[in-house]
Amino acid sequence: MQEPNQSSVTEFILLGFSFSPRTTPLFFSAFLTSYLLIILGNGLIIILISLDSHLHTPMYFFIVTLSMLDLGYTTTTMPQMLAHLASQKKTISFASCVAQMYIFLVLGITESWLFAIKSIDRYVAICHPLRYKVIMSPWLCRVMVLFCGLWGVVSALVYTVFAMRLPYCGPNKINHFFCEVPAVLKLACADTSVNDQVDFILGFNVILVPLSLILVIYINIFIAILRIRSAQGQLKAFSTCASHITVVTMFCVPAMVMYMKPGSEASPEEDKKLALFYNVISAFLNPIIYSLRNKDVKRAFLKVMGWGRAPE
């Protein structure tokens, strides 16, 4: 194995998507529109919830946190992808690549665990409604989010250190639209089997564990919902759970496929599509699924715009 100090790569070339010259402007417009809508949708959610005191509840606190994470990790990748689509220069320095990889992982892992925390919130709201505000206190909510953030920081650091400790002596072309661990590892001038094992173990901790927790919690939630005598009450409870399950599936399943399969089985084109799904499409749909179709958020929007008043 070569020593890391023999690495000669100082910058990488991000190949991105293989669009023809005719279709590139079309895809650029589509990605730009998507990014602007992500900023608009998630930004609107953050502003509305911040301004309306009726929405200062644990559920909306977690939704605001989710929107901030969505804004963060799409901004980590999409502006650069758009710049590369609009120009011939598609390079990124070694240091910038490491920074992008680390920031994206921190935000992505934090969001993965936030989904598990949000399922706990739904469990308490449905199974212990009378004690909901007591159990889900502002202090506990902040501690839960802090735990997610710290877990993201530590796990992302391990991912990044193990990936970038390897020598990269050329070629320097990354077949991806940003510096994601599986794509970068393919350029290493050394055996990456240890990295595959580390990625699998960490993937288990940052994806499978929260998914398992979500599964166990929702089994208990569904059992509790079936005990509700009112059909309308059951429907309302199921609808609130359906939003969360949809978002979790869109984000976690593609991420699990990406990070837990061996590098030898990875297909660059499939990886780019998977990354696009949990990086862009998930962040684009989250505001719609979680909040913009929510009556409380609509009421807050009308109040802020001066078109109506929230009920006393």
Residue 154 identity (one-letter amino acid): V
Mean pLDDT throughout 181-197?
Answer: 85
Tens digits of residue pLDDT in 112-169: 999 999 999 989 988 888 899 899 999 999 999 999 999 999 999 998 998 888 888 8
For residue 229, pLDDT over 80 is answered with no
Q: Give a yes or no: residue 27 inside a domain.
A: no
Q: Give a yes or no: residue 142 inside a domain.
A: yes
Helix, strand, coil % over all residues of the chain, rounded to 5: 75, 5, 20
Of the two residues 16 and 268, the one the predictor is more confident about is: 16
Q: Give a yes or no: residue 7 inside a domain.
A: no
Pull the structure tokens for residue 200.
């699998």
Which residues are CB-neighbours of 260 under 8 A, at least 6 positions away?
A: 199, 200, 203, 204, 207, 208
Domain extent, residue 167, equals 38-290
Tens digits of residue pLDDT in 196-209: 888 778 877 888 88
pLDDT score for 305: 76
pLDDT score for 77: 92
Q: How many domains does the chain have?
A: 1
For residue 236, pLDDT over 80 is answered with no
Full-model pTM: 0.86
Average pLDDT, the chain: 84
Tens digits of residue pLDDT in 66-109: 999 999 989 999 999 999 988 888 899 999 999 999 999 999 89
Q: Give a yes or no: residue 262 inside a domain.
A: yes
Of the two residues 210 and 310, the one the predictor is more confident about is: 210
Burial of 245 (0-12, 13-18, 19+ CB in 10 A): middle
Q: Give a yes or no: residue 16 inside a domain.
A: no
Percent of the chain at pLDDT > 70 equals 92
Report which of 100, 96, 78 is spatially closest to residue 11, judged by C-alpha positions: 96
Q: Give a yes or no: residue 1 inside a domain.
A: no
Of the two residues 170 and 286, the one the predictor is more confident about is: 286
pLDDT score for 106: 94
CATH number where 197 lies: 1.20.1070.10
Which residues are CB-neighbours of 165 under 8 A, at least 6 positions away?
A: 4
Q: Give a yes or no: residue 302 inside a domain.
A: no
pLDDT score for 4: 44
Mean pLDDT throughout 43-57?
Answer: 88
Q: Residue 192: phi, psi to the nearest 5?
A: -110, 15
For residue 7, pLDDT over 70 is answered with no
Q: Give a yes or no: residue 186 inside a domain.
A: yes
